[in-house]
């Protein structure tokens, strides 16, 4: 292992007394992000004003950062671009894939997918016409459900609830053999485990940056378009910054070069500044090392929790190679248990109806964190510390 995880951990601001196991939902703040945003606000926006678009390179930032993310997901330079939120990027990828595969009307997904992806697919189908439809099957049934009616297979590689990981290469090959295209959502993959979009021959991929890439709340999403589609894919959301020549102010749309056409409007410069600083951490880390350490941490957590908390049921695959970088347990009182844990300094999260979710992020999660979290969880369970009215009142965000 060549990655120095003590050094990467030192690059994050981690509040005293907290074991943070929710970087799969919102990554912690890289120390350099605060300084970088401050610089962008005062020295760039403040002093350069409108000149910042050229002088500070704001306009090129979505592609520049896209290339850096591309290195983590097996995407060549010039195939990834930043912007908007993940839900929007799902819609764009799906719309383009439907258009390329013009004679078919079905998008196939699974019931473990994140609801927003399914909602966006439903909304797009409604817009395209009554014959378009979203079909969902159980995650285990996806491979067998791919047939020649499917235009697009749209899957999230790692299940947000259970952490179960699809076999991207095998499912993509199966989809292609049936004449379908693929849209892969990497929300719980990018920065969590090695992804090789090129080797898997994926058509489109999307993902967010505020989870394992630590861009901060509201950080923009990314979209990948395979090189062989990049000059033909037509963006459904054809905004001016995806135009071939935005500053020609033509009255009609001409798609820009390659993946640049997936840009829509003005990029979120302040969020991108935070993300650009966060990406510096990856210059010190090898994603294969991250994966190996992640499996060690998650295996140790499963072993520790199963030994000390008999009423919690493992919801994640036991085999580390079959899950992402999170571990989930089921319990009917999962929400209250998580609130008690958070009150005691162990931050994970809860996903309805009964999932306690813990993310392990080797860039800053240590084996000590695993031990502390296991000990405190065992205390919460053994002493029924969760059984208090204040832990049962649901907050807006769980």
Which residues of the chain form contacts with ligand PLP (CB under 6 A)?
A: 85-87, 114, 116-117, 156, 160, 185, 187-188, 208, 221
Q: 357 an active-site residue? A: yes
> Which residue out of 22, 84, 110, 185 is catalytically annotated?
185
Q: 293 an active-site residue? A: no
Which residue's CB is nearer to ligand PLP, number 117 or number 276?
A: 117
- Contact call for residues 320 and 299 (beta carbons, < 8 A): yes
Q: 211 an active-site residue? A: yes
CA-angle at 234, arms to 204 and 96, nearest 5°:
40
Least distance CB 46 / ligand PLP (angstroms):
29
> Which residue out of 357, 358, 369, 391 is catalytically annotated?
357
- Contact call for residues 324 and 358 (beta carbons, < 8 A): no
Q: 210 an active-site residue? A: yes
> Which residue out of 210, 335, 350, 360 is catalytically annotated?
210
The encoded tokens of residue 75 equal: 């995407």
Q: 114 an active-site residue? A: yes
Q: How far apart are CA 293 and CA 285, in angstroms?
A: 12
Least distance CB 86 / ligand PLP (angstroms):
4
Distance of CA 347 to the CA centre of its chain: 19
**What phi and psi, each to the nearest 5 degrees, are found at residue 128?**
-75, -30
Least distance CB 221 / ligand PLP (angstroms):
6
The torsion angle over the Cα atoms of residues 72, 78, 79 and 83, rounded to 10 degrees, is 90
Q: How many CB atoms lie within 10 A of CB 119?
A: 14
Least distance CB 210 / ligand PLP (angstroms):
7
Which residue's CB is nearer to ligand PLP, number 222 or number 386?
A: 222
Picking from 353, 352, 397, 344, the residue whose alpha carbon sits closest to that of residue 375 is: 344
Q: Which helix (H) or strand (E) holds 370?
A: helix 367-382
Q: If 0-12 CB within 10 Å is exposed, 13-18 middle and 19+ buried, where does residue 169 land?
A: middle
Give the β-pairing of 12-13 and 29-30.
Answer: antiparallel
Least distance CB 156 / ligand PLP (angstroms):
4
Which residue's CB is nearer to ligand PLP, number 117 or number 333?
A: 117
Q: How far apart are CA 235 and CA 276, in angstroms?
A: 26
Which residue's CB is nearer to ligand PLP, number 171 or number 208?
A: 208
Least distance CB 87 / ligand PLP (angstroms):
3
Q: How far apart are CA 164 and CA 318, in angstroms?
A: 10
The encoded tokens of residue 381 equal: 């369970």
Residues taking part in catalysis? 114, 185, 210-211, 357
């Amino acid at each position: 292992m060549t990655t120095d995880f003590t050094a990467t951990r030192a690059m994050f601001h981690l509040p005293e007394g907290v074991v943070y196991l929710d970087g799969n939902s919102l990554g912690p703040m890289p120390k350099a992000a605060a300084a970088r945003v401050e610089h962008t606000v005062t020295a760039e926006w403040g002093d350069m004003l409108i000149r910042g678009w050229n002088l500070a390179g704001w306009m090129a930032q979505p592609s520049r950062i896209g290339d850096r993310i591309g290195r983590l997901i097996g995407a060549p330079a010039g195939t990834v671009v930043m912007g908007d939120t993940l839900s929007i990027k799902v819609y764009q990828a799906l719309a383009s894939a439907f258009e390329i595969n013009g004679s078919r009307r079905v998008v196939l997904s699974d019931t473990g997918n994140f609801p927003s992806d399914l909602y966006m697919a439903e909304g797009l189908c409604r817009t395209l016409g009554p014959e378009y439809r979203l079909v969902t099957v159980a995650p285990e049934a996806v491979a067998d459900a791919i047939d020649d009616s499917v235009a697009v297979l749209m899957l999230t590689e790692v299940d947000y609830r259970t952490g179960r990981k699809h076999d991207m290469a095998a499912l993509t090959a199966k989809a292609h053999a049936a004449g379908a295209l693929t849209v892969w959502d990497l929300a719980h993959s990018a920065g969590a485990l090695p992804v090789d979009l090129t080797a898997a021959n994926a058509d489109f991929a999307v993902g967010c940056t505020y989870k394992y890439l630590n861009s901060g709340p509201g950080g923009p999403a990314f979209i990948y378009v395979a090189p062989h589609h990049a000059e033909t894919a037509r963006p459904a959301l054809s905004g001016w910054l995806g135009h071939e020549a935005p500053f020609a102010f033509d009255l009609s749309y001409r798609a820009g070069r390659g993946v640049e056409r997936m840009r829509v409007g003005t990029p979120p410069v302040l969020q991108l500044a935070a993300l650009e600083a966060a990406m510096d951490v990856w210059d010190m880390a090898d994603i294969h090392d991250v994966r190996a350490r992640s499996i060690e941490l998650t295996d140790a957590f499963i072993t520790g929790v199963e030994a000390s908390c008999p009423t919690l049921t493992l919801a994640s695959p036991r085999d580390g190679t079959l899950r992402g970088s999170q571990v989930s347990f089921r319990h009917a009182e999962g929400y209250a248990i998580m609130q008690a844990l958070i009150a005691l300094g162990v931050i994970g999260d809860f996903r309805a109806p009964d999932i306690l979710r813990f993310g392990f992020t080797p860039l800053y999660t240590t084996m000590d964190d695993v031990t502390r979290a296991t000990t405190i969880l065992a205390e919460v369970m053994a002493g029924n510390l969760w059984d208090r009215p204040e832990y049962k009142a649901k907050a807006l965000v769980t």
